[in-house]
Structure formats: C-alpha cells, structure tokens
Amino acid sequence: MNDKITKPAIPKPPRPDDICPRPDKPVSHTTQPMAPAIYPTSVWMCNDTQQADQLLSRDLEGYVYQRDGHPNADAFAEKVAELHAAERVAVTSSGMAAMSLAVLSQLMPGDHVVVSNQLYGRSLLLLTQELNRLGITSTRVDTCDLTATRTAMTSVTKLVVVETIGNPCLQVADIGSLAEIAHERNAHLLVDNTFATPVLCRPLELGADLVLESVSKMMNGHSDVMLGALCGRACEWERVPLVLSAWGLASSPFDAWLAVRGLATMHLRVDRACETAGKVAEFLAQASAVEHVDYPGLRDHPQHALATSQFGGRYGSIVTFRIAGGRKAADAFIAATDQIPFCPSLGEASTTLSHPESTSHRGLLPEERAALGISGGTIRLSIGLESSDFVLGVLQDKLTGI
C-alpha cells in the first residue's frame, strides 16, 4: 500500500453532486395530514448493526426493504383485515401473485389440490399445469356438486380452491359446506372472493381458511391499480412472509396507496353496481336477442337461494348472457356498443363488457368451454356506476339493432 496517498478532504462548501443525493430529513408536523403519505422508498436506513439484525430477524417491528414490507401495504392490509375479519393479510403485486403466495406457502411436492372448474382462466392454469410442474397434482371438479367434490378429495389433498361467484357463469359456492368437506380430510379451503368483494361475502366467517382478492377489480374500482390480497389466520401464516419476499410477490407502495383510497368508496360503488346489475339481468332475461342469462339474483339461477342467504340480498355486479346468433352476433354487438368498452377485466367505474371465449377462457379447449357453458355468444357485463337508465338504454338500443 502507498502511504503517501493523501486523505481526500470533504469539499467545503458541499458540491451540488454531494448535496442532491443526500437522504431527506423526516418531516415533523404540528398538524396531521388528512390523506395518508406514500412511501416509495425501496430501502430504509438502519441505526446500527444490532438494529438491522433485529429488524431482519423480525424480533423488532419495522421496515428495511420494500420487497419485505412497507407502510402503504400495511395500511391497506389493516383495512382488509377488518373487512374480512382476518388475523393476517398479505398484500401482493396482483391477484395472481396472491394465488401464487397461497399455493407456494401452503403446498409441497406430492400434495393434491381440488380445483373448481369455474375459476378465472389464469387461476386454472396455475393450479393445474404450473403446479403440476412442481410435483403437485390437481383434480378439476364442479364444486357446486358437493358429492363430486367430496369424491375428488384424496388422502393427500391439502387445498380446495373455489370462487365465491364463479367466472364467468356466476355459480355460487356453498362456502360452509365446502369448508366442511375440506376439513373432513384436514385440507384447507381457499376462496377467491374477487367477484363478491367483502361487501357481499366474508368467507372466513363461513368457515374458509384462506381468502384471496384481486384488488385490481372492484375493491379498488378505478382501473388504475394492480394488487392482490391474501387473508387468513395466524396458524396458516408461518411460511407466508418468507414466500412473499423470496418469490418476489410484493406490492408497490403507490398501488397500495391508491387502493386505500379506492376502499373508501367500495361499499357505495358495490351497492350501486349491484342494484343496476339486478335491473340489467331482469331486462336481459326478457330480451328476444338473448338466449340465456346468468345472474344469482334471478329466481331461476340454480343457487339463487344460497346466494340470498350468503350475500344478504345483494347478488354482485357481473351479469353474463348468451346472445342469439353465436360469435357473429357477439362480434356485431361488441362493435356496435361503443358506450360500453370491450375490456377484458371487471369492477371498473364504468360499465364494461368482456367476451370469455376470446379473452379470460381462451386457454381452454372448445369442449372444456362448452362444458362450462361458455360459447361464442357468451358476453360478460361488469356493471359500473352510471345510472341504470343509461346502461339499460344502451343495451336496449344495441340489442334491438343486432
């Protein structure tokens, strides 16, 4: 080593390139802001090695690295925990990340899952093909058929996965009975509650062990967030923080902050959309251009009575119908209905429509779609916040023109 090297002096006055990167001092307020702060910081400063050690081993509560946790996720998780009466909530980068977190934290190679055949297309793919690559087998079953579900359970079944309201034909899961079937075999029931939201249903109170929400949909409700939440009990949570961090499933602070804002109006939005959806379903059931309507609020829906008792008189904001004339008629309707955007998602502020055959369920074989009741003429409406007069007026106008 050359001891002639002179120690560089810290420049005085400091140079701009030394001033600008300096971390900001925390701001202390005499009054409190009404809106919550956003903490986009990727990393937090530790006082010393002991503190870093305690934080990273979770002996001390606090933040170190955004991928492990951040205040905006915690603020959102706190509200969701109350909404779902959950002991634990993990906030993830999307609904699919919440599904990944559930299976990666609960399952091991050699395990088996029983999967409702009425799940969102990507969930089906994850739970069957992707899990299969990890040595986890699955059986798809119509979970509205409780006998078939019980028969599908094996000695190594660890998880039963259903949606509260199935996608896209809106079958309603009997959560209490499915929980019993799962528990008879020491398995857990995971419920994707995205179509219902906690306004209609709190599956943990009905016996479910884990609940998942795609917050990207109605819970946020403004088409500007990609976020998921997994809710459960402390006894199922041992591996969740590690899996969330190690598999990189964590949320962004900005999305979590927006989602807290979305939650403030969730009850009002869900109420309004459900009310209009009921009127839309009644209208479509009478329309001559429509062959069939799925909506749990209609008396002829196979689980209407269950929906009434489980959801307390509301039936959701999604209405699915089959237009007469198949794919050609569906294409013509979609092209003509420019006031209702064709947008393969749901739960937006405006009413939107989707076409399951060409979007959410495109990965299934034609015969698999047919078995689920999805044809080229199937259209899924996600009812928004416009007046019911507006939505009914557009549908009446466009359906008579087809």
* Residues that bind ligand PLP in the complex, under the rule CB under 6 A: 94-96, 120, 123, 163, 167, 192, 194-195, 214, 216, 226, 228, 345
Q: In the complex, what is the shortest distance from the CB of residue 211 to ligand PLP, in angstroms, rounded to a whole number?
A: 12
Q: Which is nearer to ligand PLP, 329 or 353 (CB)?
A: 353
Q: Which is nearer to ligand PLP, 123 or 337 (CB)?
A: 123
Residues 6+ apart with CB under 8 A from 129: none
Q: Which is nearer to ligand PLP, 107 or 346 (CB)?
A: 346
What ranges in 156-265 are assigned the alpha helix state H? 175-184, 197-200, 240-246, 253-263
CA distance 188 to 157: 9
What ranges in 264-317 are assigned the alpha helix state H? 266-286, 304-311
Q: Which is nearer to ligand PLP, 195 or 311 (CB)?
A: 195
Q: Identify any residues that bridge with 32 across adjacent strands, giving them in sequence order.
A: none
Buried b vs exposed e over 260-275: b needs ≥16 C-beta within 10 Å?
A: bbbbeebeebbebbbe
Q: In the complex, what is the shortest distance from the CB of residue 209 to ligand PLP, in angstroms, rounded to a whole number?
A: 18
Q: In the complex, what is the shortest distance from the CB of residue 345 to ligand PLP, in angstroms, rounded to a whole number?
A: 6
Q: In the complex, what is the shortest distance from the CB of residue 121 to ligand PLP, in angstroms, rounded to a whole number?
A: 8
Q: Which is nearer to ligand PLP, 123 or 320 (CB)?
A: 123
Q: Which is nearer to ligand PLP, 96 or 284 (CB)?
A: 96
The vertex-102 CA angle with 98 and 107, nearest 5°, equals 155
Q: In the complex, what is the shortest distance from the CB of residue 239 to ligand PLP, in angstroms, rounded to a whole number?
A: 21
Helix (H, G, I), strand (E, B) or coil at 116: strand
Q: Which residue is nearest to ligand PLP, using beta carbons?
A: 95
Q: Which is nearer to ligand PLP, 106 or 123 (CB)?
A: 123
Helix (H, G, I), strand (E, B) or coil at 178: helix
Q: In the complex, what is the shortest distance from the CB of residue 161 to ligand PLP, in angstroms, rounded to a whole number?
A: 11
Q: Which is nearer to ligand PLP, 164 or 337 (CB)?
A: 164
Q: Which is nearer to ligand PLP, 193 or 329 (CB)?
A: 193
Tell me the backbone φ, ψ of residue 191, rounded to 5 degrees: -115, 125
Contact 258, 225 (CB under 8 A): yes
Q: In the complex, what is the shortest distance from the CB of residue 226 to ligand PLP, in angstroms, rounded to a whole number?
A: 6
Residue 75 CA from chain centroid, whole number: 18
Residues 6+ apart with CB under 8 A from 113: 103, 107, 127, 131, 136, 137, 138, 139, 157, 158, 159, 160, 161
Q: In the complex, what is the shortest distance from the CB of residue 344 to ligand PLP, in angstroms, rounded to a whole number?
A: 8
228-232 vs 188-192, strand pairing mode: unpaired
The shares of helix, strand and coil residues in the chain, as percent rounded to the nearest 5, are 40, 15, 45
Quote the tokens at residue 49. Answer: 């090695």
Q: In the complex, what is the shortest distance from the CB of residue 362 to ligand PLP, in angstroms, rounded to a whole number?
A: 13
